[in-house]
Structure 1
Amino acid sequence: MLALPADVDGVPAGLLIGYGAFLLLAAADGARRGLRATLGISASFRRLALPLAVVLLAVPAGGSLAYGAARDEAKEQALLDRLTAADAQVKSADGLAFAKAEPIYRKALDEYQDLGTKHPGARAGKLVPERLDAYYKTVSAPYENETYCEAIAPLKHLRGLSDSFDKDLLGARPAKADEPLAHSLYECGTSALGVDTATPSAEESLNELLGTFPKSSHATRVEPAVRAAIKTRTTALDSGTEPCDTATELRTLRTSLKNMTDSSLEGATREAVKAAQRGDFACGTGQFKEKDFENAIETMTAYAKDYPDSPQAAHARSIAIAAEIADEEPAAGKNLPPAKDPGGARMVLVVSNDGPGEVEVLYTGPTTGKVTLKTCTTCTKYPGPVLSNGKKIKACTGPASKYPKATLLLPAGDYHFLQKRGASGTSISDTKTSKVKIEPGYSYTNCLYVTSAF
């Protein structure tokens, strides 16, 4: 009664020793009483005493055997309970992000390994291979669901279990993750081409694919996929739809390919560099045409700086200048500046600075450009309408050598000018737009000066 029900750890040793001593004493006492007793029965009944004693001794012996069997069953059940608990841990991690699920998976794996290696003959131990198959299926579920980027970390975990788990129990299971992992790296990497917010990035996934599985069928698909991604975006540039978005994607593609070291991608990298340059120019021209002059200035200035050897660098600078003028005078942005200056005769336009502060003069029309006039150190502001008492201002009447000047040779046509005077002494910075018509056979002068507010 003290021993039941059977427990995995059995009964205390002291209780067993006491129980054994009690049985021996009971047997001795029975022998003493029996040998001394005077029985009023026949001799034939007396002969039954010894067999009955043996039977009586067999009862506790049989009870011990029965208890041992019950204890063994309790041990089996305890191991099965541990297996069930490990299964529940695997199930509880289902649906969690792998970073959060992995510690839970590791605990379950520790139980599986302990059961499979220390209790291989137990019912629970014999079920471990089946549970490992189920474990691989559960953890690789993102791959089966075709969420390839999410599948990478779980598949790498499964592939690397041979480093931390009993190899005999695992068998060939880790190798079964190779093909799904290579496929996932390819799909995740190629889907990230041109996406600057992709996690993981295209180069991270594709570098791992080409480095870990260089001979896989998926590795051979990388180079054609990259070229196709470039071609798709260059075709989009030709259509003129959202050129700046396409340019951003091409720059991201270029960056990804520059961070990839596999020699098979050298040709595609050169294509991406050219396509990204083309995309930047298309973005700037698109911004100008859409009257987004502020961004056109930034884009085309950056283009001329980033690609100084480009045949389009000079045109980009012209567009940036025209956009800067148009940002002040929208009529100047009606048409995109021509890529090449027109031929034919040129007329002289001399621009002089009769005022304090350096002046930057920008112009656009049949040709586009800018010049900078140094500050006139001996010049001052002219009096305004109040202080001049209505007298006509006579600017640039001093000797020609007094004034910083620049000579422009301009084809005939209508021009928009923007003068930007920097601050100097008591003068503040200022901008002013004007329109000039240049006619054949004439020469022109333009004197820039400063008047006070009064």
Structure 2
Amino acid sequence: MPSSPPPAPPDPLRATAVALLNLSGLGLGYLLLRRRVPAAACVAATVVLLLVALPADADGVPAAALVPYAVLLLPAAVHGWFAGLRTRLVWPGQRPVALVLGVVLLAVPVGGALWYDSARKEAVERVLLDRLDRADRQVGAAGRQDFATAESGYRDALAVYRDLAVHHAGSRAAAQVPDRLKTYYSTVAEAYSHRDYCSAVAPLAYLRTVPDAMPKDQLGTLAHWPDDRLATSLYECGADGLATGDTGWVTRFGDLLSTFPDSGQAAKVVPAVDAAEKKAAKAVSGSDPCTAVERLHTLNTQITRLSNGTDAAADGLTAVAGRAGRSGDAGEYECGVKQYRDGDFEQAQQTMRQFVTDNPHHRNAGRARKIAIGAEVAQTLPAAGKKLPTTGSGGGISVTVKNDSPDDITVLYTGPVTGSFTLKACGSCKAYSFADSLISGWEPCSDSGKHYPQRTISLPPGTTYFVHKPKHDSTATPGSDTAGLRYGYVYTECAYTTRTPGSAY
């Protein structure tokens, strides 16, 4: 007997049935040909593929597993076709049945592939939803921090929203992005909802940049949502700084006028600045005029800077700035009076001199000059500052002041009347030594051979305080005298110079 049955006649229909059965991945074609080893290899390859592919994830089947499987399965189909061409099948007896069975079993890998693709898409959806959830949590965590710290977190979350909207537009996660953006905007702008306007400026300004990163169809009305809120925050923060003296108000109002020049909030800038100037000008007549004057001068500088930085409302701001400067200059008189009465004579002198310089034709300019003189005298003779100098002049008592000094001298006096004048240097005079003043009978201005520069003034009775100082030597110590003047006497003041380790006049 032969060792095996003789080969069957060639049958392409049977060969095709075997190839289709092998394409199912279960090696059924080999089983019908009694070839168990290659059938087992096909089953093993399918099992390995299932172990690698399941459960389905967003990355799909790794190419390192799918390619070898295809390399094995396709040759198995080709080999099965040639093997089935001359080999009878174990079952079924009829070839058409085997062919139909092969076609039907192809539904296994095809259906499995379709199911796997659906499972993979669902896995992708879960991954995208998880990314969305993490971005939401990041926004929530950033909302519990100040904006400077949280800004990077907001930007990272926005990048996730953008990626979902742009690169995964058909996903369930992308469909939720518009609603998430509403929460995003309200969280970033939370300071505004609490009326913390200064803190709201930076986050609202940031929100105005979001349309540069997100598609407009995702934002809708949110694209312009921050505008009115930012304009309000800039105005309210600026107005608060203007009231408290914080210099940041200039920047806030400047940003408002340049960014939203036609807004209702911008229209309130000039009235707010005008009210601040009027309040400061009114305070000049109050208990602290010096602070009010300083405030007015500061306002003049700040408002001028604001008007130069924007075209909007520039004319109105310029007018307010000019009025603040004029009010500040005029208020220097009240400030100087306050300083004089408080005993701050050096500062009072400087203030009154500045007032006269700024307002030479002001109705108080004359008395301001007198107060400046009195303040200078009081720095040497504090008792001279007990009364505020008046604009009075003249009197019935003659006082002659002579200069026995080689320097030009300025004579200052205050009391019932206040004034000053200059005497030229005595050309034939010299500075006396300290030893000269110790000689018995020594008396300056007593040399009949010298012609002393002199001047006679008329003063009323009472105590008058004199100070003599060299005109061109600010380091010298002034000389002083307190004279009680009475009618019936003629008085003489003598100015002279002594040279000691500390020069005195």
SS where residue 284 of structure 2 aligns?
A: helix
Among 417, 430, 435, the alignment partner of 2:477 is 430
Contact 1:194-1:249 within 8 A present in 2 as well: no
List aligned pairs for 1:91-102, cutoff 5 A: 91-94=140-143, 96=145, 98-102=147-151
List aligned pairs for 1:117-266, cutoff 5 A: 117-193=166-242, 195-198=244-247, 200=248, 202-240=249-287, 242-261=288-307, 262=313, 263-266=315-318
Q: Cα–Cα, structure 1 residues 211 and 309, in superposed 2: closer, same or farther, change >3 Å?
A: farther
Q: Cα–Cα, structure 1 residues 105 and 444, in superposed 2: closer, same or farther, change >3 Å?
A: same
Distance (Å, rounded) in 2 between the aligned partners of 1:409 and 1:355:
23
- Is 1:80 aligned with 2:129? yes
Distance (Å, rounded) in 2 between the aligned partners of 1:163 and 1:315:
65
List aligned pairs for 1:388-427, cutoff 5 A: 390-398=439-447, 402-421=451-470
Distance (Å, rounded) in 1 between the aligned partners of 2:189 and 2:97:
72
Contact 1:294-1:323 within 8 A present in 2 as well: yes
Residue 275 of structure 1: aligned partner: 327
Distance (Å, rounded) in 1 between the aligned partners of 2:243 and 2:406:
51
Distance (Å, rounded) in 2 between the aligned partners of 1:11 and 1:42:
35
Q: Give 1 or 2 for the bigger CA radius of gyration.
A: 2
When structure 1 is superposed on structure 2, of 437-446 and 165-174 the one drifting more is 437-446
Contact 2:410-2:469 within 8 A present in 1 as well: yes
Residue 296 of structure 1: aligned partner: 348
Distance (Å, rounded) in 2 between the aligned partners of 1:42 and 1:194:
100
Q: Cα–Cα, structure 1 residues 89 and 376, in superposed 2: closer, same or farther, change >3 Å?
A: farther
Q: Cα–Cα, structure 1 residues 374 and 96, in superposed 2: closer, same or farther, change >3 Å?
A: farther
> CA-atom RMSD, angstroms?
3.4
CA drift at 1:392: 0.8
Q: Cα–Cα, structure 1 residues 292 and 81, in superposed 2: closer, same or farther, change >3 Å?
A: same
Contact 1:227-1:268 within 8 A present in 2 as well: yes
Provide the TM-score with structure 1 as the length reference: 0.83
Among 400, 421, 429, the alignment partner of 1:371 is 421
SS where residue 52 of structure 2 aligns?
A: coil
SS where residue 300 of structure 1 aligns?
A: helix
Distance (Å, rounded) in 2 between the aligned partners of 1:275 and 1:398:
54
CA drift at 1:176: 1.9
- Is 1:445 aligned with 2:496? no
CA drift at 1:79: 2.4
Distance (Å, rounded) in 1 between the aligned partners of 2:398 and 2:73:
133
Deviations 1:106-138 (A, max 9, x none): 333233222212221112211221122122112
When structure 1 is superposed on structure 2, of 27-36 and 217-226 the one drifting more is 27-36
Distance (Å, rounded) in 2 between the aligned partners of 1:296 and 1:165:
63
Q: Cα–Cα, structure 1 residues 373 and 218, in superposed 2: closer, same or farther, change >3 Å?
A: same
List aligned pairs for 1:271-350, cutoff 5 A: 271-338=323-390, 340-341=391-392, 345=395, 347-350=397-400
Q: Which runs of 5+ in 1 are unaligned?
A: none
Give the percent of matched residue pairs that are identical in Structure 1 and Structure 2.
Answer: 41
Contact 2:399-2:458 within 8 A present in 1 as well: yes
Equivalenced residue count is: 443
Distance (Å, rounded) in 2 between the aligned partners of 1:17 and 1:388:
121
Distance (Å, rounded) in 1 between the aligned partners of 2:449 and 2:395:
26
Q: Cα–Cα, structure 1 residues 326 and 96, in superposed 2: closer, same or farther, change >3 Å?
A: farther
Distance (Å, rounded) in 2 between the aligned partners of 1:350 and 1:371:
12
Distance (Å, rounded) in 2 between the aligned partners of 1:38 and 1:273:
113
CA drift at 1:447: 0.9
Q: Cα–Cα, structure 1 residues 327 and 152, in superposed 2: closer, same or farther, change >3 Å?
A: same
Distance (Å, rounded) in 2 between the aligned partners of 1:164 and 1:68:
32
- Please tell me the residue identity of whatever aligns with 1:131: R
CA drift at 1:149: 2.0
Q: Cα–Cα, structure 1 residues 37 and 87, in superposed 2: closer, same or farther, change >3 Å?
A: same
- Please tell me the residue identity of whatever aligns with 2:256: L
- Please tell me the residue identity of whatever aligns with 1:279: G
CA drift at 1:389: 6.6
Residue 107 of structure 1: aligned partner: 156
Deviations 1:174-218 (A, max 9, x none): 3222221221122122222265543x2x33322333344344332
- Please tell me the residue identity of whatever aligns with 1:254: N
SS where residue 410 of structure 2 aligns?
A: strand
SS where residue 402 of structure 1 aligns?
A: coil
Residue 11 of structure 1: aligned partner: 61
SS where residue 193 of structure 1 aligns?
A: helix
Provide the TM-score with structure 2 as the length reference: 0.76
When structure 1 is superposed on structure 2, of 440-449 and 184-193 the one drifting more is 440-449
- Please tell me the residue identity of whatever aligns with 2:290: C
Distance (Å, rounded) in 1 between the aligned partners of 2:406 and 2:146:
67
Q: Which runs of 5+ in 2 are unaligned?
A: 1-50, 308-312
Residue 116 of structure 1: aligned partner: 165
- Please tell me the residue identity of whatever aligns with 2:341: K
SS where residue 53 of structure 2 aligns?
A: coil
Contact 2:301-2:321 within 8 A present in 1 as well: no
- Is 1:362 aligned with 2:412? yes
Contact 1:351-1:407 within 8 A present in 2 as well: yes
- Please tell me the residue identity of whatever aligns with 2:58: V
CA drift at 1:307: 3.2
When structure 1 is superposed on structure 2, of 439-448 and 321-330 the one drifting more is 439-448
Contact 1:152-1:185 within 8 A present in 2 as well: yes
Deviations 1:351-396 (A, max 9, x none): 2221244433222122323333344343223354x56774211322
- Please tell me the residue identity of whatever aligns with 1:312: N
